[in-house]
Structure 1
Amino acid sequence: MYGNPNKNNWTWHKRRLGFAFFFLVLLLVIGGMVQWLWNTVLPEVLPAKKLTYGQALGLLILCRILFGSFRFGYRGGSAFYKNPGNVRGKWLNMTEEERAAFKEQWKKRCEQR
């Protein structure tokens, strides 16, 4: 259809290798930044020892596992922002009178508890 399919397949593999190489370099650079920041800041402020490069990479991976996981993109949040068609969308489409009535209903609900 658009030429040699093996050529397109090869281009796709080159892109994947390029992205993998980019993320590897990015990981190594961020590991160096973690080591540099740790070694310049923490030993001066706290009684902390200096890190080696391997320890900095391990700390980076450990923090990513404990606090950030390995997902990219949307991380969640409140239901108000997660589904605009849910509460936020309804709120934005209400008139001022409807908003006032909605607030009154919630005040009554909260006072009952």
Structure 2
Amino acid sequence: MIEMRKKEFIYKYKYIFFPVFGAAALFLFGSVIMLLWNWLMPDLFGLTTITFWQALGLFILSRILFSGMGGKGKRSHRKKCRTHSGREEWMNMNPEERKEWFKKRKFAQWMEHKNDCFSDSDVKEKDGPDRE
């Protein structure tokens, strides 16, 4: 019962709390960057001090450059890469399916120039070595 009330409260006032917490986080990050910059950079490298707004701009710029604008898609992509489902799918493909897979990708033109891309040593049969 109490947990239900908490969920209702958060759902009801989320449009107030999230912007307030977001603004507080931006103020905190900007202040910390400004204080660290003004404490370290002038003494170490002879640079000038910066204002709060310059520190906030530096934070936003570094966020864009080093971590991207991304969202939930990145996390799901990392999780997908860890499962190696693509590798299993590739191993279960026959040579014709592999050629079709390459043709659908951007490097299909490169594949056309390489005649030995799918040599017999690169592609193994599912059932094992060829028996005569």
Query: What is the TM-score of this pair, normalised by structure 1?
Result: 0.56
Q: How does 1:10-89 map to 2 (within 5 A)?
A: 12-72=11-71, 74=75, 82-86=81-85
- How large is the RMSD of aligned CA atoms in angstroms? 3.1
SS at match of 2:70: coil
- The structure with the larger Rg is 2
Aligned counterparts of 1:75 and 1:66: Cα–Cα separation in 2? 21
- Kindly state the Cα deviation for residue 44 of structure 1 after the two structures are TM-superposed: 0.9
Instruction: Decide whether aligned partners of structure 1 residues 71 and 87 sit closer, same or farther in structure 2, where only a CA change above 3 A counts.
Output: closer
- Kindly state the Cα deviation for residue 32 of structure 1 after the two structures are TM-superposed: 0.2
Instruction: Decide whether aligned partners of structure 1 residues 41 and 83 sit closer, same or farther in structure 2, where only a CA change above 3 A counts.
Output: same
Instruction: Decide whether aligned partners of structure 1 residues 27 and 46 sit closer, same or farther in structure 2, where only a CA change above 3 A counts.
Output: same
Aligned counterparts of 1:75 and 1:52: Cα–Cα separation in 2? 38
Instruction: Decide whether aligned partners of structure 1 residues 84 and 64 sit closer, same or farther in structure 2, where only a CA change above 3 A counts.
Output: same
Instruction: Decide whether aligned partners of structure 1 residues 27 and 88 sit closer, same or farther in structure 2, where only a CA change above 3 A counts.
Output: farther
**Which runs of at least 4 in structure 1 moved beyond 3 Å after TM superposition?**
none
SS at match of 1:41: helix
Instruction: Decide whether aligned partners of structure 1 residues 42 and 86 sit closer, same or farther in structure 2, where only a CA change above 3 A counts.
Output: same
Letter in 1 for 2:30: G
- Kindly state the Cα deviation for residue 76 of structure 1 after the two structures are TM-superposed: 5.1
Query: Which runs of no fewer than 5 residues in structure 1 stay unpaired?
Result: 1-7, 90-107
Query: Which runs of no fewer than 5 residues in structure 2 stay unpaired?
Result: 1-7, 89-120, 123-132
**What is the total number of aligned residue pairs between the two structures?**
82
Q: How does 1:3-14 map to 2 (within 5 A)?
A: 12-14=11-13
Identity of aligned residues (%): 26
SS at match of 1:38: helix
Letter in 2 for 1:56: A
Aligned counterparts of 1:75 and 1:61: Cα–Cα separation in 2? 24
